[in-house]
A and B are shown apart, each in its own frame.
Chain A
């Protein structure tokens, strides 16, 4: 204990993270007290850590956060995540940010302030690497003097910001790699809501719950794109074909363009989406490196369109994970499984139904035949609460047919997930 350097104790306290635990541990002895004062680099006030946080008044909370932060020095990570506090007054928040300005590398803050303050102006910028802001407003971004030279990850949730300010903010972050935007309230000057974001270093973009007419993302290094719960008319990704992962979940978009060059796509995950198969197919047909394809809860724009398995096996020879769940019709079964193709490298197959019917077990059987190297099969089913006699019979028949089917494939691990 005597030989343990005080910096190492600082690390232990920083790993504890939760402010209450840190303060209690610091009261054990002189060395730990010193470590808490001089060598703590991470401090977290999270309303989920301690139930008593919910019972303390807001002003009392402001006092204890201020007193605690001001007992430390050299803080690098400050996390203030208070889910049921409406707002903090501006003065203590400004004090916390100014006190940690010189050394701050990571800031998580999700409480509104009154009066509203410009967090970006007050927080440390020189060393900041990670910023996660929620329930605040961003205005008046000035990239000429307000730069974030080390910022790699930026996350904005329930933030009010203009399209222009957001675009300027990105230009003020020359090293940004990851951008997460959730439920932004985007202020517009024109009738048409357009957002243009550009970054030469961005690698990951995750956009959730955003409504826009036009969204243009220019990112020459983008590797991961995730769109969730968005309503867009036009989405354009302008880049150099570096995209490896594309995930689209519950998005309504009329025109989606991820560029001509899709050669590096390895994972395509589309769920709760309306697909125009021909268009979709031309979008990804050149992705010969594709390893994972998931089409889940998708609806085809043209009722006659089906997922043509033969094309999938031809376009994606390296495919190892295939997940399919959509309405099966007689035609899709016969036509979709036509041809003497094999999905050589598929080791995991996930198949789901939204409404169970006779076709489903035939489909499972048909696909199993085509996957000679399959190791795992997962069947996902929706079972309604009020089961009619017909549905029960259907489920029973399905179970029997799967049991019979899997006797032929004893080496495959079968799992069921019912919702």
Chain B
């Protein structure tokens, strides 16, 4: 069964429906992996360069299919884009981002992959900055633990790395 999601206050749903026909333009984004639909304002959706190009080229029909991005990731992305279109105060946005990005590595990866695919620069920059901050000053092993990275380097590669970059281990 199709789930139609309105992003915003559910109590305002009926009012939003009435306003649908007024000057604000709305788009429906459908994640093709799990068939979830999201109704968003065009001004929010075009934070994605990919969607922006589709709209400008006139090939955006009533429903835009979005491959590769799962429903829950899409929901979070829309929440981010909505906040960044509505709010102009730097301080408020910074606080929002810090709270929003308080996620585990898997969720952060999903966000990065999706933001990269949909070409949402602001989101991608925020997440990559967050990840960089998480690993600054840490050892390789600590980084593997924090970001759940599996060490797939061969013995030769590890040795080569060690020799070439031994200066980094000087204490």
Give me the interface of A with B, judged by CB distance under 8 Å.
1, 3-5, 7-8, 11-13, 15-16, 18, 20-21, 23-30, 32-33, 52, 56, 60, 64, 67-68, 71
Contacts and interface: CB of A to CB of B under 8 A. Distances in A.
Nearest to A51: B171
Interface residues of B, number: 33
Given A1-B109, A21-B136, A27 B165 contact: yes
B124 A8 contact: yes
Interface string B132-171: 1001111110011001111111000110010011011011
Contacts of A23: 165, 168
Contacts of A4: 109, 112-113
A198 B153 CA distance: 56
A24 B143 contact: yes
16 contacts: A4-B112, A5-B113, A7-B116, A8-B116, A8-B124, A11-B128, A12-B135, A20-B167, A21-B137, A26-B161, A27-B153, A29-B153, A30-B157, A33-B157, A60-B167, A64-B167
Contacts of A12: 128, 131-132, 135
Contacts of B88: none
A21 B147 CA distance: 15
A28 B147 CA distance: 10
Interface of B: 109, 112-113, 116, 124, 128-129, 131-132, 135-140, 143-144, 147-153, 157-158, 161, 164-165, 167-168, 170-171
Chain A, interface SS category: helix
Contacts of B131: 12
B109 A16 contact: no
Nearest to A16: B132
B132 A28 contact: no
Contacts of A3: 109, 113
Contacts of B138: 24
A29 B165 contact: no
Nearest to A64: B167
B170 to A, nearest CB: 5
Contacts of B128: 8, 11-12, 15
A169 to B, nearest CB: 33
Contacts of B161: 26-27, 33
Contact of A24 (B153, B168, B171): B168
B151 A24 contact: no
A52 B171 contact: yes
Contacts of B152: 29-30
Given A4-B112, A60-B167, 14 more contacts: A5-B113, A8-B113, A15-B132, A21-B137, A25-B135, A28-B143, A28-B144, A28-B147, A29-B152, A32-B149, A33-B157, A33-B161, A64-B167, A67-B165
Contacts of A21: 135-137
A95 to B, nearest CB: 16
